[in-house]
Structure 1
Amino acid sequence: MKVLYLNNIYQGGGAEKVTRQLYYGMKNIGVESYLLTGYDDGIETAAGDSNIEALYSGRYAKECAVLRGCLHNNALPVNKRLRKKLCAMIEENDIDVLHINNAHGNYIGIEDIAYLSEYVKVVWTLHDMWAVTGHCAHAFDCTGWKTMECGRCENKRTYPAFYYNNIKAVHKKKKDSFTGHGITFVTPSDWLAGICRQSYLKNEHIITINNGVDMSEFGICDRQELKKRYNVPAGKKVILFAAANLNNEYKGFSYLAQALDKLDNKSDYYLLVIGQGLGDSVISREFGIKEFGYVSTTAMMNEVYAMADVFIIPSVAENFPCVALEALASGTPVIGSDAGGIPEIVSKDVGWIFPSRDSAALAQTISSAFSNTKQLDMMRPACRHRAEKLYTLDGMLEKYKCLYEELCRNNA
């Protein structure tokens, strides 16, 4: 069995991380795997692997591709270069399954997915709502996608942005291209599966396969030893927030900042931050803050997760965030918003859920969590157990492998 993976870029979290997990994980269990990315961002870290290629290499090629996408209102209809490249790879390597992850980013055209489904079985893992909306990755309270009324969109600048109003036509093109072509849609969360079943994808093959975490790379560590090593003051209530870009409005850092400002005895708390963009934060100077910036190694990520008393994910839009799974695998309780699939991950024995965008509720939840430190300590083994039981990388890989095998049998 041979699988070709497709994603916009190589390096990154979310869809990029899942793509890498699938590519390398399947290779390790004997599935012949190939990976094509739209752009070469971070691909140098995979140097020497001849099965990994980028469609566009270099800054100039990427900028031209992005410009072409912008001219098509961030809804590229067809990319002949991609079609030619993929068809050649499919034929030369006798590919059985094409597995798409992130399909927006102006490297693949909307109509290309239906075109490619005529040559090979297509699996598409959805990491957001883009496949069912007129343009946006997350629709929030808008329900126009349900009734094909995205043409009335009032949020054209929501990622990926539209510059002129042809959203209704694009939405129809998506419906025509994504339905009736035998595509298998995988959603990491039940939440997103429910969204799909309320959309024009309702009659398509939709299954849920949760994201997974490599349990050998994350674990419960000696917190006191870690605090000494990283110069985190003893006796503090340690909170962790992580996002690649703190200014990404989807990640909700501003609501965390507001919540922290509402806490009593601010000097009792200490905030750990992973990611770029803290800058001149509005967080009170009474808080101790340690900024890690971009963390490049899994080992260090594990240590920072394990050092925290709680991990907070205040997102306003999410699917099935890997960071929450990694926190649990590190034995760290999670305080999460009710956005997307977060409530599916955070059960009562491993954390707390609060209403998205409600900084007062988040502040109350933080206070409640720290009101019983013995309970926090007792939750740590439960966090690890939940991750081991439900969210292992091996389990995720096995489910995808079974899906590929089923599709190949049906195609025989």
Structure 2
Amino acid sequence: MKILQINSVNGMGSTGRIAVELAKQQLKSGMTPVIAYGRGTESSDLSIPTIKIGASQFNIYEHLVEERFFDNGGFASRRATKQLIKRIEKFKPDIVHLHNLHGYYLNTALLFEYLRQSDCKVILTLHDCWPFSPQSAYIDRDQDGKVPNKVQSKSEFNEYPKTYCRFRSQSLYNKKVAAFTVLSKERFKIVTPSNWLTDLAKDSFLCKYQIETIHNGIDLNQFKPTTENYFETHYQLKNKKIILGAANIWEPRKGLVYFDYLAQNLPSNYQVVVVGRDTDQLQSDNILKIQQTNDISELANIYASADLFVNPTMAENFPTSNIEALASGTPVITFNTGGSPESLNIEVGRVVPKGDSEALLQACLGFEKTAEVVTACVKQAHKFDKEIAYDRYIALYQTWNGE
């Protein structure tokens, strides 16, 4: 069985790593994988053949201009997409597995029209809401409990994917409806990593398709409790209760502002630690800022050293950072946002109302990391072993292809 995955990146970022790990699992199962990607460099794993979409960075810049000034994100890159289609015709995949189609590299309409005319089957994994969103990658239900088909707030134009053009959003939404509904129910399936996003997608214009949840997983060999807490030693935090926040980039939806509130109101025996880029937005001096690290062992040790992992996200699908913390034996406090609570139970964390700073503070003060809690956290994390997720995808491929 030949499987082509298409994603914005390859081997980098959460979706890029998922694509590579999934391709490895396909290879082990006797399948023939290829990854097509639009941005960044190729994965260091040379066992997985790849296709670079777009001959140069010019394709990305050209697409970015159309996004910023004409609100045409996901529907530019015509030349690059036509070249990709020629490569697809040559490879002749049995299944095309789509991931993030936004990211300034692909023309969704051209791709789906080609897929409509082909005889391959298509899986779309929704890593966010972009395919059925009027504008931004993350949305939620409106005040009537419905999935919006119009922009709800001007702030959406400033969120990823950002645009300066504010009068063509309805046209963009109509393009999405036309592109994503062109395939028959028999040849198109949708997967999401959270029950929250599955429910949202089922209430959107994608409702005619089969939609199921396959939670993302993590490598449990990389994240685990440890007694070698060199992080505490290095930063002289041995007698402190560590409140940890972590993100690759602290964009507004990640809730960085709430760490200022915690730092200003927690007792002196607590230390707020924030890992990631763009932490200069923080106002409090009583916060330890650590630059983003690509060293997994270093990140795992930081998780294990923390007393609590706090995820005050305002919009989220299914954050693997919660699971990474649990696997390291650290309980999680999060807002009741999107799929963020789905990896937790009452033994391993607390879920508080979205945007409630005081509730977040009280949850931090009221939760202790005991030996029993560490054990419960690790047990809960094992439900989200990456092998479980990948095995479910392999079973989906095989069943759907009649094997």
**Does TM, scored on the shorter chain, surpass 0.5?**
yes
Query: Aligned-pair distance for 1:227?
Result: 2.4
Decide whether the 8 Å contact of 1:74 with 1:105 is kept in 2. Answer: no
Over 3 Å counting, the alpha-carbon distance change for 1:153 and 1:238 in structure 2 is closer
Structure 2 partner of 1:242: 246
Match for 2:355: what amino acid?
R
Give aligned pairs, total.
Answer: 396
Q: Distance in 2 between matches of 1:343 and 1:105?
A: 27
- Give the conservation status (yes or no) of the 8 Å contact 2:303–2:330: yes
Q: What SS does structure 1 have at the residue aligned with 2:315? A: coil
User: Helix, strand or coil for the counterpart of 1:356?
Assistant: coil
Partner residue of 2:398 out of 389, 402, 405: 405
Q: Percent identity?
A: 26
- Give 1:305 deviation, angstroms: 1.0
Q: What does residue 195 of structure 2 align with?
A: 190
1:75-106 deviation digits (Å, cap 9, x = unpaired): 34354334333333333223111111111123
The amino acid across from 2:243 in the alignment is I
Q: Relative to 1, partners in 2 of residues 1:141 and 1:133: Cα closer, same or farther, differing over 3 Å?
A: same
Seen in structure 2, the aligned counterparts of structure 1 residues 42 and 292 have a Cα distance that, compared at 3 Å, is farther
Going from structure 1 to structure 2, the CA distance change for 1:124 and 1:324 (only over 3 Å counts) comes to same
- Check 1:172–1:61 CA distance in 2 against 1; reply closer, same or farther (3 A cut): closer
In structure 1, the partner of 2:277 is: 276
Structure 1 stretches lacking a partner, 5+ long: none
Distance 2:402 2:341 in 1: 35
* CA distance in structure 2 between the aligned counterparts of 1:58 and 1:274, rounded to whole angstroms: 33
Q: TM-score, normalised by structure 2?
A: 0.90
Question: CA separation of 1:57/1:102 partners in 2, compared to 1, >3 Å: closer, same or farther?
Answer: same
Distance 1:361 1:151 in 2: 30
Verify the 8 A CA contact 1:5 1:19 in the aligned structure 2: yes
User: Pick from 222, 225, 236: which aligns with 2:227?
Assistant: 222
What is the aligned counterpart of 1:106 among 104, 107, 116? Answer: 104
SS for the counterpart of 1:4 is strand
Q: Hey, what's the Cα distance between the residues in 2 that align with 1:299 and 1:30?
A: 31
Match of 1:356 among 354, 357, 375: 354
User: Pick from 204, 213, 218: which aligns with 2:218?
Assistant: 213
CA spacing shift, 1:184–1:294, aligned 2, 3 Å: same
Correspondence for 2:263: 260
How far apart are residue 11 of structure 1 and its match? Answer: 5.1
TM-superposed CA distance for 1:159, in Å, is 2.4
- State the 1:31 CA deviation: 2.7
* 1:57 positional shift: 5.2
Match of 1:139 in 2: 139
Structure 2 equivalent of residue 33 of structure 1: 33
State the superposition RMSD in angstroms: 2.5
| Residues 242, 272 of structure 2: 8 Å contact kept | yes
Distance, in Å, in 2 between the alignment partners of 1:275 and 1:368 is 26
How far is 1:347 from its partner?
1.0
AA paired with 1:25? Q
Q: Specify whether residues 145 and 56 from structure 1 end up closer, same or farther in structure 2 by C-alpha distance, changes over 3 A only.
A: farther
Aligned twin of 1:233: 237
Q: Which position in structure 1 is the counterpart of 2:64?
A: 66
Normalising by structure 1, report the TM-score: 0.88
Q: Give unmatched runs, 5+ long, in structure 2.
A: none
SS at match of 1:409: coil
Three-state SS of the structure 2 residue aligned to 1:349 is coil
> Which range moved further: 69-78 or 198-207?
69-78
Q: Secondary structure at the match of 1:56?
A: coil
In the TM superposition, what are the counterparts of 1:234-383 in structure 2 within 5 Å?
234-246=238-250, 248-263=251-266, 265=267, 267-279=268-280, 281-283=282-284, 285=285, 287=286, 289=288, 291-369=289-367, 372-373=368-369, 376-383=370-377
Q: CA, structure 1 residues 97+274, in 2 after alignment: closer, same or farther (shift >3 Å)? A: same
Q: Structure 1 runs of 4+ off > 4 angstroms?
A: 47-50, 143-149, 223-226
Query: Aligned partner of 1:22: which letter?
Result: L
